[in-house]
Amino acid sequence: MENQTAINAAMQQMKAYGFKNTKKRETIISYLAKTNRYVSAKELHDFLAQKYSGISYDTIYRNLRDFAAIGILEDTELEGEMKFCFNCSLQGAESHHHHFICTICGKTKEVTTCPMSFFKDQLPGCTIEDHRFEIYGHCEACQNVA
């Protein structure tokens, strides 16, 4: 799916949950849609501060948490810090998938194989309500950086 189409879908989803459509929020969503990686609130603040002087770190972080809660963003803890990326399903990704996440640059790759059938066999009598599976390592571009 084209980035602008995905951004528009995210903006509609935001509006459906009662959030006002503002230029700052659109800039946050656009930045994350175009980066294809997990980013920290600090990185996003540094980027937005160039365009919107005086923008608050707390405002950015609150928007990131709100957008994750309504499914526009995905979040993960990486190296002790919360990081956020654009929700893959808004960009046309297969609905159920997992991620490989580069621990150096934050770039993600979609992993379509799910290991849950193995775990279901290991947990007879249990009801699994949800799961998350992430693989961490170095992407092709970062192999020689570490």
pLDDT in tens, 69-115: 998 998 888 878 899 988 877 655 556 778 888 888 888 888 888 88
Please, what is the angle between helix 41-51 and helix 57-69, to 10°? 120
- First vs last C-alpha separation in the chain: 33
CATH numeric code, 98-142: 3.30.1490.190
Instruction: Say whether 98-142 and 3-91 share the same fold.
Output: no
- Domain layout of the chain by residue ranges: 3-91, 98-142
Percentage of the chain surpassing pLDDT 90?
Answer: 42
Determine which of 8-12, 52-56, 80-84, 85-89 has the lowest per-residue pLDDT on average.
Answer: 85-89
Distance of alpha carbon 108 from alpha carbon 60, whole angstroms = 22
CATH numeric code, 3-91: 1.10.10.10
